[in-house]
Chain A
Amino acid sequence: MLDQATGDSICALAARLRRRECSSRELTAAYLARIEHHDAALNSFITVTPEAALAAAEAADQQLACGAGGPLTGIPIAHKDIFCTQGVRTSCASRMLDNFIAPYDATVVSRLHQAGAISLGKTNMDEFAMGSSNETSWYGPVTNPWDSTRVPGGSSGGSAAAVAAGLCMAATATDTGGSIRQPAAFCGVTGLKPTYGRCSRWGMIAFASSLDQAGVIARSAADAALILQAMAGFDRQDSTSADEPVPDYSAELETSLQGLRIGLPREFMSAELDSDIAASVEDAIGLLRTLGAEVREISLPNSALAVPAYYVVAPAECSSNLARYDGVRFGHRCTDPVDLEDLYRRSRGEGFGAEVKRRIMIGTYVLSAGYYDAYYLKAQQIRRLIKQDFQHALSEVDVILGPTAPTTAFALGDKSADPVAMYLNDIYTISANLAGLPGLSLPIAPVQGLPVGLQLIGNYFAEARLLNVAHQLQQHSDWHLARPSAFA
């Protein structure tokens, strides 16, 4: 039954559930069995919640038996362990929160729950979402389902790997500088980072508040559309949530790409880009042209400064957001502190890993007296210039296109000793976060057996357009249907 299920779209599977050809309980149990069987090697889950999942599946079955329920009722998904889940450990992949049982659900979690989705558990990630390889997790790295010697990308590496390996139908994820799109690219799945403010940040543990955005990793654009539909929308508990209507994301999937204007930033296709990846992107462009899209070269002149500006803004916000982890009210506390200072320094020193500490220190430094203008204000100015570049480009084209990452998945340990090399892996994704624009990564022609991601960036709240373009590509190609053989 499940072999068939793993090939199904959410839409097709939901139809089978409604027709009672299979039950959510069977489906959920089958996914739990897959996790049991495969995840020891993959390490994509930090916490699996079988009892709660099966109970929720039974409740979904009762609903379905009465002909009730929506498009996600009974569909097994997973949540990145950055989203608070009531009564379930929410660790953010940090020793600091290894013992933290969230007393509430994140808005995104409760919305998906209300839509009937079944949560199988919490996926692994880089600690506090800081990393591009999933190697900073306190619970150990996730491996790439396509090649177990390679990283799955990060920070949402667990979500991407679990979806790619067929351990869940889809997973929530977050993206502060590429943390949805880059692992989606490395694992050969579809990842969507919505417009900043599209999904509520309530209950989503903060890394950098003005950049963080919740999104989804799924097997296809059509599946992602269904998940986003449930997640998106205004939340009065989040001051930065956008009070904008949520369109029907599935309704526009079939819209023709005839006359679609696509911009290819010359800065994204520079000489530094791996030539094989460039060729994959060219292939996808060729397909888009045959579907009626016009592709033209554009320029995002300040995009080279996105990574430098990001590594001021994100650490600055992180240094303050992570000050609450002090060993007093929750989380890790050192043993026998001699005084208050000792309590703080050792609890935090022990609770945080090296990458988190580096970012806290950089952030503390750039905000400290005498440095604020030179670093923080300067970065915010560049942020405006980057936004203006995009606004200018998006007045001429509908969608911006390019590679998601400059390389395919790299080997475990390859970059973990060199923070700057790691940071530069997000060179194409970071600018969309600085501008707050939606971005999507979908798999295109692989290179040496490893997935390659194509990134689409759209205008504010144009998620439906990105999903439409990705869906049309997926309707006319089979790149997204490839499955890693070890997880067949």
Chain B
Amino acid sequence: MQSSDVARIAHLAKLATDASELEQYASELTAILTLVEQMNRLDTAGVEPLAHPLELTQRLRPDVVTEPDQREGFQRHAPLTEDGFYLVPRVIE
């Protein structure tokens, strides 16, 4: 993994990284990927992937409103709100 790969991934993941950190991340991530690539020692053709250990199916919830308005409580510790809105730098479309 090169610094440029790290920059691309950091951009996708929205993580600010200094140019000076890119090299170190690149070498650490390369080491981790080298560990991960030990998987390739095994031929897994035809093996069904396992996403959940218990292999159960989704339970369904009755269509009932159970949640009261808790806006004040939820916004008490929010970084920036006004008139009930969460505020962010201007969204341009």
Mark A residues whose CB is within 8 Å of B. Answer: 99-101, 103, 196-197, 210, 236, 239-240, 242-243, 302, 304-305, 307-309, 311-312, 319, 326-331, 333, 337-346, 348-350, 352, 357-358, 360-362, 364-366, 368, 375, 377-385, 387, 419-420, 423, 434-437, 460
> Contact between A348 and B15 (Cβ–Cβ < 8 Å)?
yes
| Across the A-B interface, the 7 shortest Cβ-Cβ residue pairs | A436-B53, A349-B16, A380-B49, A384-B50, A333-B79, A344-B14, A381-B44
A385 to B76 CA separation, bound complex (whole angstroms) = 48
Given contacts A343-B89, A345-B16, whether A312 and B36 have CB atoms under 8 Å apart is: yes
Q: In chain B, what residue has the closest Cβ to A362?
A: B32
Q: Could you tell me the distance in whole angstroms from the C-beta of B30 to the nearest C-beta in chain A?
A: 10
**Are B70 and A358 touching (Cβ within 8 A)?**
no
A368 to B50: give the CA distance in the assembly, Å: 19
In Å, the complex CA distance between A79 and B13 comes to 30
Q: How far is the CB of A294 from chain B (nearest CB, A)?
A: 28
B65 within 8 A of A: no
A381 engages B48 (CB within 8 Å): yes
* CB of B19 within 8 Å of the partner chain: no
Query: Roughly how many angstroms separate A312 CA and B86 CA in the complex, as a whole number?
Result: 34
Q: How far is the CA of A365 from the CA of B76 in the complex (A)?
A: 36
Give 12 A-B contacts (CB < 8 Å), ordered by A residue: A197-B53, A239-B58, A311-B36, A312-B39, A330-B77, A330-B79, A331-B79, A340-B91, A380-B51, A381-B49, A381-B50, A419-B28
Chain B residue at minimal CB-CB distance from A89: B77
CB–CB A379/B13 < 8 A: no
- Residues of chain B whose beta carbon lies under 8 Å from any beta carbon of chain A: 1, 5-6, 9-10, 12-17, 25, 28-29, 31-42, 44, 47-54, 56, 58-59, 61, 70, 73-74, 76-80, 86, 88-91
CA distance A346 to B16 in the complex (A): 5
CA distance A101 to B33 in the complex (A): 36
Find out whether the CB atom of A311 lies under 8 angstroms from the CB atom of B32: yes
Min C-beta distance of B24 to chain A, whole Å:
9
Does A210 lie within 8 Å of B51, measured CB to CB?
A: yes
Q: In the bound complex, do residue B74 and residue A103 qualify as a contact, i.e. CB atoms below 8 Å apart?
A: yes
Report the nearest A residue to B5, measured CB to CB. Answer: A365
Question: In the complex, are the beta carbons of A387 and B77 less than 8 A apart?
Answer: no
Query: CA–CA, A57 to B61, complex, Å?
Result: 37
B65 CB to nearest chain A CB (Å): 15
Q: Is the CB of A362 within 8 A of B49?
A: no
CB pair B17–A378 under 8 Å, yes or no, is no
Q: Which of A101, A361, A378, A460 contacts B39 (CB 8 A)?
A: A378
Contact B36 A361 (CB under 8 A): no
A103-B73, A358-B28 given. 7 additional CB < 8 A pairs? A210-B51, A242-B54, A308-B39, A330-B77, A338-B89, A361-B15, A387-B53
Residues of B within 8 A of A240 (CB): 52, 54, 56
Say whether, besides A308-B37, A360-B15, A361-B13, A385 and B54 are in contact (CB < 8 Å): no
Complex-state Cα separation, A380 to B73, whole angstroms:
40
**Smallest CB–CB gap between A385 and chain B, Å?**
6
Of residues A99, A380, A381, A383, which shows the largest number of chain B Cβ atoms within 10 Å of its Cβ? A381
Q: Which residues of B contact A377 (CB under 8 A)?
A: 49
If A236-B59, A311-B35, A333-B80 touch, whether A360 touches B13 (CB-CB below 8 Å) is yes
Least Cβ–Cβ distance between A12 and chain B, in angstroms: 36
Residue of B nearest to A382 (CB): B39
CB distance from A161 to the nearest CB of B (A): 27
Q: Are B9 and A361 in contact (CB under 8 A)?
A: yes
**Chain A residue nearest to B75 in the complex (CB):** A329
Q: Are B6 and A329 in contact (CB under 8 A)?
A: no
Given the interface contacts A302-B42, A308-B37, A378-B44, does A460 sit within 8 Å of B51 by beta carbon? Answer: no
Q: Is the CB of B74 within 8 A of A340?
A: no
* Given contact pairs A242-B56, A419-B31, A328 touches B88 in the complex (Cβ within 8 A): yes
Q: How far is the CA of A381 from the CA of B44 in the complex (A)?
A: 6
Cβ–Cβ contact B53 & A423, under 8 A: no
* Distance A319 CA – B12 CA, assembled complex (angstroms): 10
With A and B bound together, what is the CA distance between A333 and B86 in angstroms? 12
Contacts A348-B14, A361-B15 given: A305-B31 contact, CB under 8 Å? no
Q: Which of B10, B25, B31, B50 contacts A383 (CB 8 A)?
A: B50
Cα-based distance from A242 to B54 in the complex (angstroms): 9
Chain A residues contacting B90 (CB-CB under 8 Å) are 339-340
Interface centre among B5, B13, B70 (most CB of A within 10 A): B13
Q: How far is the CB of A377 from chain B (nearest CB, A)?
A: 5
Q: A380-B49, A385-B47 are in contact. Are A307 and B13 (CB under 8 A)?
A: no
Q: How far is the CB of B84 from chain A (nearest CB, A)?
A: 13
B74 to chain A, nearest CB (A): 6
Do A101 and B77 contact each other (CB < 8 Å), given the known contacts A329-B86, A379-B39, A387-B53? Answer: yes
Residue pair A368, B9 in contact (C-beta under 8 Å): yes
Distance to closest chain B CB from A376 (angstroms): 8
Q: How far is the CB of B81 from chain A (nearest CB, A)?
A: 9
Tell me which of B31, B41, B73 contacts A420 (CB under 8 A): B31
- B residues near A346, Cβ cutoff 8 Å: 16
The verdict on A361 contacting B29 (CB below 8 Å), with A305-B39, A340-B89 known, is yes
